[in-house]
């Protein structure tokens, strides 16, 4: 009697990837409850900051178990030295010196949105952008120190917001006089006297914050965003394109500093 063959059932070895856009406008790719942020333009816009609350898909990044705050600070100081020696920082500094000399262009707060984790990567190993985040933090701290020197004051409040910050990130930022806020509290602090530091911000977030008319914006390029809200903001600002950051080109790729147009011209 011939042997009958039975097809064995096999379990799928790979998980299906899902793309999800959360209430705040971030697009994520996930195989479980953990997700990574993708560089995508959202086609939806948000007119108000106060929205229905949804569970966040982003969780605090996992730092290597042996990494200490001292280790992380040494990494940051190395990034800061490299950044301050660059022609990219020279252009940012020159722009600040030129366009903060008038009282109407005064800044009383610096708000950083979406910096990313400085010490870890998302669970599952999806993303490791620590080097990018450290260089961008170096830029943020340099802007902060420059503005405080120009204004000869330490009263400028500096805030950072990103749901992937972990305890090490928060501790490092606190040591630099940067206060971490829960989402969406940083949005609520933006005003016409804010320096908004938002490299890589997506359209949905830009349409939330730009109507608040921050004095300066570090990020973009906003010219590539198809949005009436963004276009109206651009009509009130001048800008300078940052030269290539040779150490790591994509960290500040095609970004600009946007500043108030001089009404005296």
Instruction: Identify the CA nearest to 222 among candidates 6, 41, 86, 4.
Output: 41
Average pLDDT over residues 176-202: 94
**Is pLDDT above 60 for 8?**
no
Overall number of domains in the chain: 1
Domain that holds residue 136: 69-260
Q: How far apart are CA 184 and CA 168, in angstroms?
A: 21
Answer yes or no: is 48 within a domain.
no
Contact yes or no for 18/31 (Cβ under 8 A): yes
Q: How far apart are CA 197 and CA 201, in angstroms?
A: 9
Q: How confident is the model at residue 263 (pLDDT cuts 50, 70, 90)?
A: low
User: pLDDT by residue (tens digit) across 64-105?
Assistant: 999 999 999 999 999 999 999 999 999 999 999 999 876 555
Q: How confident is the model at residue 29 (pLDDT cuts 50, 70, 90)?
A: very low
Instruction: For residue 62, give the DSSP letter.
Output: B
Q: How confident is the model at residue 38 (pLDDT cuts 50, 70, 90)?
A: very low
Answer yes or no: is 206 within a domain.
yes
Answer yes or no: is 239 within a domain.
yes
User: Which of helix, strand or coil describes residue 197?
Assistant: strand
Answer yes or no: is 59 within a domain.
no
Average pLDDT over residues 11-40: 42
- Give the residue carrying structure tokens 């450290």: 134
Kindly list the distances between the CA atom of residue 54 and the CA atoms of 1, 61, 94, in Å, as whole numbers in the listed order.
62, 20, 42
Answer yes or no: is 169 within a domain.
yes
Instruction: For residue 8, give the DSSP letter.
Output: P
Answer yes or no: is 230 within a domain.
yes
Assign residue 81 the CATH number of its domain.
Answer: 3.40.50
The proportion of the chain whose per-residue pLDDT surpasses 90, expressed as a percent, equals: 63
Average pLDDT, the chain: 81
Answer yes or no: is 52 within a domain.
no
């Amino acid at each position: 009697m011939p042997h009958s063959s039975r097809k064995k059932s096999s379990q799928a070895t790979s998980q299906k990837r899902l793309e999800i856009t959360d209430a705040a406008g971030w697009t994520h790719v996930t195989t479980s409850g953990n997700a990574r942020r993708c560089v995508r333009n959202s086609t939806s816009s948000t007119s108000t900051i106060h929205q229905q609350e949804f569970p966040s898909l982003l969780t605090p990044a996992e730092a290597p178990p042996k990494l200490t705050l001292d280790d992380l600070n040494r990494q940051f100081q190395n990034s800061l030295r490299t950044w301050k020696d660059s022609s990219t920082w020279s252009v940012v500094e020159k722009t600040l010196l030129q366009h903060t000399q008038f009282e109407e262009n005064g800044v009383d707060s610096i708000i950083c949105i979406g910096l990313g984790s400085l010490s870890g990567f998302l669970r599952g190993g999806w993303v490791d952008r620590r080097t990018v985040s450290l260089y961008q933090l170096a830029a943020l701290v340099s802007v902060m120190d420059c503005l405080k020197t120009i204004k000869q004051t330490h009263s400028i409040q500096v805030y950072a917001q990103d749901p992937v910050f972990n305890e090490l990130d928060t501790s490092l930022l606190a040591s630099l006089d940067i206060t971490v806020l829960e989402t969406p509290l940083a949005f609520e602090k933006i005003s016409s006297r804010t320096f908004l530091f938002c490299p890589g911000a997506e359209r949905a977030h830009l349409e939330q914050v730009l109507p608040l008319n921050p004095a300066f914006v570090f990020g973009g390029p906003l010219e590539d965003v198809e949005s009436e809200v963004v276009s109206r903001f651009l009509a009130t600002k001048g800008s300078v394109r940052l030269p290539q950051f040779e150490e790591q080109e994509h960290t500040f790729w095609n970004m600009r500093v946007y500043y108030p147009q001089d009404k005296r011209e």
